[in-house]
Amino acid sequence: MEIVRIDDKKKIGKTQDTVLVLGYFDGLHLGHKALFDRARAIADERGISVSVLTFPETPKLAFVRYHADLLLQLTSPEKRFALMESYGVDRLYLADFTSSFAKQSPEEFLENYVSPLQASVVVTGFDYHFGNSRADVSVLQELFDGQVEVIDEVQLDGEKISSSRIRKAVKEGNIAEANRLLGYKFTTEGIVVHGDARGRTIGYPTANLAPFERVHLPGEGVYVADVLIGSRRYRSMASVGRNVTFDGTEMRIEAHIFDFNQEIYGEKITIIWLDKIRDMIKFDGIESLMLQMQRDEEVSLTWGE
């Protein structure tokens, strides 16, 4: 998949006839996948390519008072791009959603971006809005002189699949639900760093993760997880929290990796979150903590069987 950053709308290079998917795809969930599947089907019928025009950051940054969560995403850009390629996208166009971009009228947006990209078909969701008037898909159908494919709401368990629903599930620690809505496993990547080394003293050494992505983290708790180290995948139990038993105050991500005893400080690993085991608990001593961890281990090793 070719990735093209549009720094200046006047410098859009030579393009070919394409099916163009429009939207912002934080998380790239099953609702979004329906757009790409339809675009790929149309492109194959016509013998043309599939392109996407989207933004590296949320458009909300141009409209609302800043807070740090605005920079967090459900899936890292690299993983989103890889997923788009696997869903059949040939070319990805990235444009920054700035104040000047937001001021475009619907007509200007089509003239400045959609037409130069040689879109003969546009595919988007039923709730898509564009231009300074937040025009809806009916206006798009009226203004665009090609074919407009509008994908209806995609539901799971009778409720719309949306990024906000997934963010809520992740925040509440309902990782199994988030994974169902995404259509793939929620992950966190980072570097293994030194911690307190307390886990070694009780037989459960952990890899402490310093995330380097601007991605949402699961809510505090203990989870069944897999850890990807290089090309190998290991079952683990992972925690997100402040280690309250030892009066910890710093939020940490730790993973005990089963059947693994190598030192991997400084290495990049990926935690693949599978399911929540329990909430964080303050234990009255090391013995009760170890008993619980033994139960957590059994749950982790037998999960999915």
pLDDT of residue 14: 66
Residue 281 backbone class (left: φ over 0; alpha: ψ -120 to 50; beta: rest): beta
Q: Any idea what DSSP says for residue 130? A: B
The pTM (predicted TM-score) of the whole model is: 0.91
Cβ distance 292 to 242 under 8 Å? no
What is the spatial distance between Cα 269 and Cα 262, in angstroms, rounded to a whole number?
Answer: 13
Q: Which domains does the chain have, with CATH numbers?
A: 2-160 (3.40.50.620), 185-302 (2.40.30.30)
- For residue 298, give Cα distances in angstroms to 113, 236, 252, 286, 295: 55, 11, 23, 18, 5
Give the pLDDT confidence score for residue 83 in this predicted structure.
96
Does an H or E element contain 191, and which? strand 187-193
- Pick left, alpha or beta for residue 260 (phi over 0 → left; psi -120 to 50 → alpha; otherwise beta): beta
Whole-number Å distance between alpha carbons of 41 and 48: 10
Taking 50 as the pLDDT cut, the residues of the chain under it are 246
Radius of gyration of the chain (CA): 22
Residue showing tokens 């392109």: 51
pLDDT of 202 reads 56
pLDDT at 258: 95
